[in-house]
Structures are given as structure tokens and as C-alpha cells.
Chains A and B, each alone.
Chain A
Amino acid sequence: MPPLLEVRGLKVAYGGINAVKGIDLDVGAGELVALIGANGAGKTTTLKALAGLLKPAAGSVRYDGHDVTGTPAFELVRRGLALVPEGRGVFARLTVAENLAMGAYIRDDKAAIAADCEHAYATFPRLAERRSQLAGTLSGGEQQMLAIARALMCKPRLLLLDEPSMGLAPIVVQKIFETIRAVAREGVTLLLIEQNARLALQTCDRGYVMESGLITLSGEAKALLDNPDVRRAYLGE
């Protein structure tokens, strides 16, 4: 069976600057995959290109057996490929409930949307308590939960997560990763970017290591955790 997401020779450039210089990447259905690397390695650019927010300069992206290279984001969301943007990107001046409703923008089955909303509240009790509160007044961790819950409202098969731990306290990060594991258990395939390499590799099945626009290492998450190069560069040993 071909992987759910199949990336070959992907290059992305901003003007003349090549941010991503030709990478290969696979995500199988049901997998939990991490893309780790330092600041400026091209991780976010890669994710944006996969989500259809940036046009790749070269290479191909196949999703669910179809070539989706250069397909715009709004189209990909309809096919079940959703992104939780960097810095969470919740609608700060809308309430939690309005944010969730916005997540279901592409759907029009009112009853099912309401049911999914309740499901989201059950998964994230913190959000249920704050459903009529403005998203901007939530804590960082709650906002990240809202961003994930909102993305799940469009019923994605593949969810791309951009730095879910960014700017959060360690204890909150633990909580977010628990959430991510719970989402994975529900059958959503996940590709996440992280600077927190240890936690990402402990959580995921497989990992890719990115360095200045190229993938330098890949493999089982456990193997990467034991890899001396990874330990030295990303785990601070």
C-alpha cells in the first residue's frame, strides 16, 4: 500500500533563497511522524508547502494516491489534509465556540458538527469550561489545544502540526503531547515539526532530521534517539 503522503525531491524557494533543497519524505496511514531540526532548517517551509500555503519550486507531493503538488490549501482541507499553523493561529477575537465552528467551515452537516463540537469539549475539558471566552484570553497551552481541536473539526485524515510545543511551559508541553497521542489513537495520521527533539522522538513512530534545507537522517524514532549524532546535535549530550 502506498503511503498516505509521499514527497519526492521537494524544493521550496522564497525569491532566490532556497529554503528547502530537495527532500523525500513518506508518511504512512495511521503513522505518527516527527520532522525535527534546528531553527531555520526549513521545517515550517516544508510544512507550509505540504499544506498548500506555498507553491513548491520543484518536486512532487502525492497525497492519498493523487498528485497534489501546488494544490491550494483550501482544496487540500476538503480532501482531509489540515494544518495547525505555527504560533497556533487561533482567531483571538472570536470565542472558543466560534473558533471551533470556523474549523468546520467546509462542512454543512449541522448535527454532525454539533456532535463533533461536543466530542472536542469531551477531549479538551478546559475548552468546554471556556467555550464562550475569547480565544485570545486563553493561556498558550489552551490556545494550542484549541488550534488542534479546531483543525480536527474539519475531519482530517492527515494533520500537520507546526511546533505544538512552541513557547509553552514544560508541563503544558507534556499535556499537548498526550493530546497528540490521543488524536493519533483516534486514527488521524500526524506529521509534526518539533524543536523539542527528545519529546517528539519519544512520541512518534518515525522521525526525519532536517538540516539547512535537506533531510540528513531518517528512521525509527527509537533508533534516532540512540543515534550519537542526533544525541549530540539535538538532545544536548
Chain B
Amino acid sequence: MSTLKAFDSARWVKIALLCVVLVALPFVIDATLGRAWVRIIDVALLFVMLALGLNIVVGYAGLLDLGYIAFFAVGAYCYALLASPQFGIHGSFLVLLPLGAMVAAVFGIILGAPTLKLRGDYLAIVTLGFGEIIRIFLNNLNRPFNLTNGPQGITLIDPLQAGGISLSKTYTYDGFAIAPVHLYYFVFLACALLTIFISLRLENSRIGRAWVAIREDELAASAMGINTRNVKLLAFAMGATFGGVAGGLFASFQGFISPESFTLLDSVMVLCMVVLGGMGNVRGVVLGAILLTALPEALRYIGPLQQQWLGRVFIDPSDLRMLLFGLALVLMMLFRPAGLWPSKTRQRELIGIDATEKAGG
């Protein structure tokens, strides 16, 4: 009994510490690394949401989706169109974020329904096409009726604001300034934590088990009494919902969106976060999202460092970024094929049964 109590209090101390760290983080980063890094953390949190959404589709249900960024785009445009001078509508985010999530979910089902019988490579191709279709539509829906403003994108998108408080303003208390990037940090953190919570709950739910069954053997899954059609559609819809919310937040945060933000490369990046981090494991996916957002930014320092130490820039950091990224992917697949922090069942699948049996006893 006493050990249980000790464990509990240790756990609470940990949680309290984590809270303090998370609250202090943007201010510490701001003071040490500069404001640009607070912004990077904000973006990383958005990618945590996106990666967790894709993790439902790819990691839990095992459906390879290469057009996931389309749902991010749908959420972002949904918010941007209804909270900008584009149509002169300035809706509240309290309405627009859930609306964006719902619209994205509908798009998820629109993508899911015709692909129910597809798996693996074939599904990947169709989802890739879907992602491109959405982007091309956004690019061209400025004629005959200007819906999306085409390649110019939508500007002057409203920030998150409610009851006179706007997240685009700096608030000062006793000389302590809280800038928009800090405010957005807390909003994104709350949303990311909520996504993590939902993901964890889903993983151990009945639905989560149904997804595992489908991933393993679809025929056997339906013989277990699982409605494979609905459960797969639910995976697409849930994943899209996360993407839609992240999209709305992204639009409000940036104040400007254009189809260029939603390319195939972005879909691939989110997929890499899921795969590198550890498919199917929430912790791994969060880690993957943060690493893949932060590391390319950190590489920017390579340019000035070369200047300082070697006299001139030999390798352009932007070239180095793709090179290192490719190298990292190859090394990962060789040495940690199940990701940095894999889930147990996924590890069995990707490394092979014998290896885990030895490791797990």
C-alpha cells in the first residue's frame, strides 16, 4: 500500500514538474535562443497535432495515406475564408475551429469511402492523388468565382480572439511582456495535449483494438464481428479531424495561407514524423514531430558557423538539410526500422517476430 502511495506522489511530482517546464518553456527559450525559436516551438506543436492525426490512419489502422496534408488545408481554408476580408466574414474561432474539424472529417470520409477496398501501394496512390486534387482546386478556385483567391492565397486572416482579448497583441504585466507567440504557444499546447489525450484513449479503446485487427488481417477482423467499413471510415474521419483543427490554428497563427503550404512534400514530412518517431506510439510520434520541426531549423546555424570558422560558406544549409534528412531516414530504416520510440505491436511487425520474442522473453 505504501509503495503504491509513494508511486502516486512521485507521479504527481513528475506531472507538476512537467507543467512548470511547459509553462516556463516559451519564456526561457525566448530569453536564451530568441523569439524565432518560440515560433518554431509553436509550429512544432501544430505538427504534433498533425502527426497524431495521421498516426490514427497510418499507425493504428495501417492505412497508408500520402495526402494527409489535404485535411490540414481544408481546416486552414475553412477558417481563413470565414475569418478574413476575403468575404468580409469574421466568424469566431469558437465556431470556426469545430466547423473546420467537421468539414475535414467529411473530406476524410469522402476520401475513405471510395478507397475502402484498397490497401498498401494502391491506397497510397489514391490518397496522394486526393492530396494533389485538393491543392490544385485551392490553386484554381479563383475563377469563375473567386473562392480561394488562387495562388495569391488569403491574407489578413483574423487571429484567435474572443471577448476583446486578441492573441495578436502583446500584453504587459509589471514589465513582463507576453507576446503573441507566447499566447499562441499556450493555445497550441492545450490543443496538442488534448490530441495526445484523445490518441492515448483511442489506443486502448474498443475502436483502437478494431483498428489493430484490421491492420493485422481484415478478413479475420470482419469474422470477429468488426464492421470494417465503418471502422476504417472512422479512422479517416478522426485523423482528418485532428488535421482540420490544426489547419484552423495554423491559419490564425500565420495570418496568411496559400496552396503552397499544402504540397505533397508536406504530406511526406508529416508521414516521416510518424514513421521516424514510431508508428502507432503516441510518445514516438510526438518526438518525431518535434525533432523533424526543430532539427531543420537548427541546421540554419551551420551557415554562419562555417563563415565564422572557415571563412566562407562551403555548404549551403538548405542543401545540407535535405542531405542530412535523407541520410537520417536511411540510417533509421537500417538500425531502428520501427522508429525511435516504437509501439510494442508495431515493433513486432516491423522488426520481425523472432527478434522481439528474444527481447521480450
Contact = CB atoms under 8 A, between A and B. Distances in A.
B272 interface: no
Contacts of A78: 225
Contacts of A77: 223-225
Contact of B226 (A90, A93, A94, A105): A105
B216 A105 contact: no
Nearest to B350: A93
B213 A91 contact: yes
A51 B356 CA distance: 35
A134 interface: yes
B174 to A, nearest CB: 55
B223 A106 contact: no
B220 A105 contact: no
Most B C-beta atoms less than 10 A away, residue of A78, A89, A102: A102
B353 interface: yes
Interface in A23-68: 51, 53
B229 to A, nearest CB: 8
A193 interface: no
B349 interface: yes
Interface string A91-128: 11110000001110110000000000000000000000
Interface in B184-242: 206, 209-210, 212-213, 216-217, 219-220, 222-228
Given A93-B349, A93-B353, A134-B348, A105 B225 contact: yes
B216 A91 contact: yes
Interface residues on B, range: 20 to 34
Contact of B222 (A74, A93, A103, A134): A74
B357 interface: yes
Contacts of B220: 85, 89-91
A154 B216 CA distance: 19
B318 interface: no
B210 A105 contact: yes
A93 B209 CA distance: 13
B219 A102 contact: no
B218 to A, nearest CB: 10
A73 to B, nearest CB: 5
B148 to A, nearest CB: 40
Given A53-B219, A93-B348, A103-B224, 14 more contacts: A53-B223, A72-B227, A74-B227, A77-B225, A82-B223, A85-B219, A89-B217, A90-B220, A93-B216, A102-B213, A106-B224, A106-B225, A133-B357, A151-B223
B261 interface: no
B209 A105 contact: yes
A136 interface: yes
Interface residues of A, number: 29
Given A74-B227, A74-B228, A92-B353, A53 B222 contact: yes
B223 A83 contact: yes
A137 interface: yes
- The binding surface of chain B is classed by DSSP as helix
Contacts of A93: 216, 345, 348-349, 353
B224 A154 contact: yes
A90 B213 CA distance: 10
B264 to A, nearest CB: 31
A154 B213 contact: no
Contacts of A73: 222-223, 225
A101 B209 contact: yes
19 contacts: A74-B225, A74-B228, A77-B224, A82-B223, A83-B223, A85-B220, A85-B223, A89-B220, A89-B223, A93-B345, A94-B212, A94-B216, A94-B345, A105-B209, A105-B210, A134-B356, A134-B357, A136-B353, A137-B357
A101 B224 CA distance: 10
A157 B90 CA distance: 60
Contacts of B209: 101-102, 105
A129 to B, nearest CB: 14
A89 B219 contact: yes
A90 B217 CA distance: 8
A98 B250 CA distance: 40
Nearest to B345: A93
Contacts of A84: 223
A82 to B, nearest CB: 7
B119 to A, nearest CB: 16
Interface string B129-150: 0000000000000000000000
Interface in A149-184: 150-151, 154
